[in-house]
Amino acid sequence: MKSQKFWAWLVFALGAAYFIIPLAATFEFSLRMRRGEYSFDAYASVFSDPQFAASFTYSVIVGLFTIVVGILVVVPAVYFVRLRMPWLRPFMEFVTLLPLVIPALVLVYGYIRLYGSSSLIPFTGSVFGTNILLTCAYVTLAMPYMYRAVDNGMRTIDIGTLTEAAQIMGANQLQIIGKIILPNILVAILSGAFLTFAIVIGEFTIASLLNRPAFGPYLVGIGTNRAYEPAALAIISFIITWGAMGMINVLGRFAPRTSARTD
Amino acid sequence: MPAFLEVQNLVKSFGSNTVVKGVNFAFDKGEFISLLGPSGCGKTTILRMIAGFERPTSGAIRVDGDDITHLKPNQRKLGMVFQAYALFPNMTVGENIAFGLKIAGMPADQRRARVDEMLKLIGLPGFEKRYPYEMSGGQQQRVALARAIAPKPRLLLLDEPLSALDAKIRVSLREEIRAIQRDLGITTVFVTHDQEEAMSISDRIVVMNAGNIEQLGAAHDIYNRPATRFVATFVGQLNTLPAGLLPGATGERAIRPELISLAPRPETDLTLTGTIADLHFLGSVQRLRVDVGGTLLNIDTFNNQTKPLQRGDTVTLHLAQKDLLTLGA
Ligand SMILES: Nc1ncnc2c1ncn2[C@@H]1O[C@H](COP(=O)(O)OP(=O)(O)O)[C@@H](O)[C@H]1O
Ligand SMILES: [Mg+2]
């Protein structure tokens, strides 16, 4: 018993070290901007750069739009497939996995070919059009996570019977999705939303190829031009991402509770 | 008086599988009707067609003179209670009960009054702030009943509403449902596979088998004058007496266990002799299993024996010619 526990702890410690040592080293390095003593100068330098605020704000806004569009696409799709076309589910599973299999580079080159300024629908011809295209690309990138989060949420409630219970009391489809389905899977949706947010904040390939001033390209640009700021930025984006993940955990406590009892 | 709920030549097929095969019935306002039959006989399918969740392959459904066959469920003004309660988990008890009222556009103060009235009716006053997961199954199902009847539906439909509950609550809740139904005079269709449940609460029972109606009538008629062999065997206990067991009988006959007694009664005119193969003391009733020439008969007698019976005792059974059932097809 004792030795088993020892080995379990050892494996855990090795795994944790794998993540923590580089992180700690990065953090330590980010504090060494001032010669001879530790300081937060690198962080001050990052925060005082107007580019930082601008690119971060841009990515947050794109992230919010991505979440809204993702929810509007995924929730009704998952709901109707589960309710009316359950035989389509394996196909949905497959399609929503594609963004994990197809490199973002392929996706964005496809976009540039399809929506380039010389094409029939020249999305990339204007800044606004390119922003829309970027949002659509992010909806696609986040699809595997959003789909699974929402699908899991709907698995925990009996959407068929709840739908019928609402219908017989006079509710229409919109009222059912808005008043019954959405509130009951809100926690699942939010966890999908935080994952989406984490993806959008760090994404580089698509934003850079579409030439948008997003946070990802800014990070990379800083990384090639400065010494201490990249380390500070790495720590900051790590905190943002893990903050988003932590929120998912906190929200899990508010998930709807099952009430199946026989007494 | 025209019928309040009328179902005409109702047929439902799933692909090539016809599960409801031309069902007809008509019921009056305020009746409590049970659809009774074994699992898979099409009871739920009929109820779901009345509710509008399944589209009939052919036939018509009328409520209070309106043809509702092709209406959407949310246009029918019906109430339904499901086996799994199906309360909305994100809403409190009060919000659940008010849901249909809100959809119908009732003002908030009237809604509150109606919710209070419903909570009193189901014996859960003061529970409006609770969430479903904080309540027992029986309480949840009572809330589901209140939610269904709050908007004053034209029909109340219940699909095995007690099946998910423990035996004790099942009995008390079915009495409560019946009392509330009688109080409000609401026409009710109750689906169950439990013949005791159906007999104890219904005005009339539709006994079904394999998509057809076998018999339609009051519990008393169905029990005492079963129309078919299926009804006779499905509803209540039955002893079959093979041809030759009874003197003078040409074919097979059947008799209910409580119509065989160990002592003569004024109406008894037949006797059989056998030995007790088994006996169960159930309190007010004693159930005997008597071997009569190789045929085992179940006999229910009231607990009024002066000397206790023993396995192996020889007994004389008394029965009346008029109580014998001839089973048809
Ligand atoms: N949606 C459906 N698709 C195919 N077959 C169904 C469907 N619903 C019910 N059935 C079949 O119809 C028959 C009757 O079902 P049901 O009405 O639920 O029976 P009951 O409620 O009497 O137990 C069953 O054989 C069942 O398998
Ligand atoms: Mg059923």
Q: What is the pLDDT of residues B1-54, one digit of tens each?
A: 679 999 999 999 999 999 999 999 999 999 999 999 999 999 999 999 999 999
Residues pairing with B274 in the sheet:
B315
- CB B99 to CB A184 under 8 A? no
Evaluate whether residue A64 is within a structural domain: yes
Distance from CA of A180 to the nearest CA of B (A): 7
Q: Is the pLDDT of residue A62 over 70?
A: yes
* Domain CATH code at residue A244: 1.10.3720.10
User: How far is Cα B69 from Cα B47, in angstroms, rounded to an integer?
Assistant: 12
In the structure, what pLDDT confidence band is assigned to residue A45 with cuts at 50, 70 and 90? confident
Q: Is the pLDDT of residue A95 over 80?
A: yes
* Two structure tokens written together for B268: 């008894």
Distance from CA of A185 to the nearest CA of B (A): 9
User: How far is Cα B45 from Cα B11, in angstroms, rounded to an integer?
Assistant: 10
* Two structure tokens written together for A157: 């409630």
Q: Which of B180, B203, B233 is the last residue of a domain?
A: B233
Q: Is the pLDDT of residue A2 over 80?
A: no
User: How far is Cα B72 from Cα A166, in angstroms, rounded to an integer?
Assistant: 12
Q: Which of B16, B19, B190 to mutate to test the pocket of ligand 1 (most atoms within 8 A of CB)?
A: B19
Question: Mean pLDDT throughout B181-191?
Answer: 95
> Same structural domain for residues B243 and B225?
no
Kindly provide the b/e burial profile for residues A17-52, where b requires at least 16 CB atoms within 10 angstroms of the residue's own CB: eeeeeeeeebeebbbbbeeeeeeebbbebbeebeeb
Question: CA B68, B73, B77: angle at the middle one, nearest 5?
Answer: 70
Tell me the per-residue pLDDT of A203-252, one tens digit each, with 9 for 90 and over.
999 999 888 999 999 988 888 888 888 888 888 888 888 887 787 778 77
Q: Is the pLDDT of residue B130 over 90?
A: yes
* Domain CATH code at residue B271: 2.40.50.100
Evaluate whether residue B14 is within a structural domain: yes
Q: What are phi and psi of B158, to 5 degrees?
A: -130, 120
Residues pairing with B273 in the sheet:
B316
Residue in B45, B80, B218 with CA at minimum distance from that of residue B157: B80
> Same structural domain for residues B17 and B70?
yes
- CB B80 to CB A168 under 8 A? yes
- Nearest CB among A164, A183, A262 relative to B166 is that of A262
Residue B251 DSSP symbol: S
Q: Is the pLDDT of residue B307 over 90?
A: no
- Nearest CB among B52, B133, B165 relative to A257 is that of B133
> Same structural domain for residues B274 and B198?
no
* Two structure tokens written together for A228: 């201490």
SS3 B318: strand
Q: What pLDDT is stored for residue B245 in this prediction?
A: 82
User: How far is Cα A30 from Cα A43, in angstroms, rounded to an integer?
Assistant: 8
Distance from CA of A19 to the nearest CA of B (A): 39
Q: Are A75 and A181 in contact (CB under 8 A)?
A: yes
Torsion, CA B91, CA B93, CA B99, CA B100, rounded to 10: 150
Question: Mean pLDDT throughout B67-96?
Answer: 95
Q: Which residues contact B4 (CB under 8 A, 6 or more apart)?
A: B27, B28, B29, B30, B31, B63, B64, B187
Write a three-state SS string for A82-141.
HHHCHHHHHHHHHHHHHHHHCCHHHHHHHHHHHHCCCCCCCHHHCHHHHHHHHHHHHHHH
Q: Say what percent of chain A tops pLDDT 90.
A: 44
Chain-wide mean pLDDT for chain B?
92
SS3 B286: strand
Evaluate whether residue A262 is within a structural domain: no
Domain span at residue B268 reads 239-323
Q: Which residues contact A15 (CB under 8 A, 6 or more apart)?
A: none
Q: Say what percent of chain A tops pLDDT 70.
A: 97
Report the number of distinct structural domains present in chain B: 2
> Same structural domain for residues B193 and B272?
no
SS3 A142: helix
Size of interface A-B (CB pairs under 8 A): 96
> Same structural domain for residues B55 and B120?
yes
* Domain CATH code at residue B85: 3.40.50.300
> Same structural domain for residues B134 and B276?
no
Evaluate whether residue B328 is within a structural domain: no
Q: Which chain B residues contact residue A259 at CB under 8 A?
A: 85, 87, 89, 131-133, 135, 140
Instruction: Please report the ipTM that was assigned to this predicted complex.
Output: 0.87
Q: Which of B193, B208, B233 is the last residue of a domain?
A: B233
> Same structural domain for residues B91 and B144?
yes
> Same structural domain for residues B247 and B314?
yes
> Same structural domain for residues B85 and B149?
yes
pTM of the model: 0.84
Q: Is the pLDDT of residue A145 over 90?
A: yes
Report the number of distinct structural domains present in chain A: 1
Evaluate whether residue B37 is within a structural domain: yes
Q: Which of B215, B233, B251 is the last residue of a domain?
A: B233
Q: Say what percent of chain B tops pLDDT 90.
A: 77
Residue in B88, B34, B74 with CA at minimum distance from that of residue A161: B88
Evaluate whether residue A93 is within a structural domain: yes
SS3 B301: strand
Beta-strand relationship, B58-63 and B5-14 = antiparallel
Evaluate whether residue B247 is within a structural domain: yes
More confident residue, B2 or B317: B317
Q: Are B118 and B184 in contact (CB under 8 A)?
A: no
Evaluate whether residue B157 is within a structural domain: yes
> Same structural domain for residues B10 and B30?
yes
Residue A37's identity, in one-letter code, is E
More confident residue, B80 or A252: B80
> Same structural domain for residues B228 and B249?
no
User: How far is Cα A14 from Cα A10, in angstroms, rounded to an integer?
Assistant: 6
Tell me the per-residue pLDDT of A159-192, one tens digit each, with 9 for 90 and over.
999 999 999 999 999 999 999 999 899 888 888 9
Mutate to test the interface with B, among A84, A177, A257, A259 (most CBs of B within 10 A): A259
Domain span at residue A215 reads 51-252
Ligand 1 atom index nearest CA of B159: 21
User: How far is Cα A185 from Cα A150, in angstroms, rounded to an integer?
Assistant: 7
Evaluate whether residue B329 is within a structural domain: no
> Same structural domain for residues B221 and B269?
no
Q: What are phi and psi of B71, to 5 degrees?
A: -75, 155
Chain-wide mean pLDDT for chain A?
88
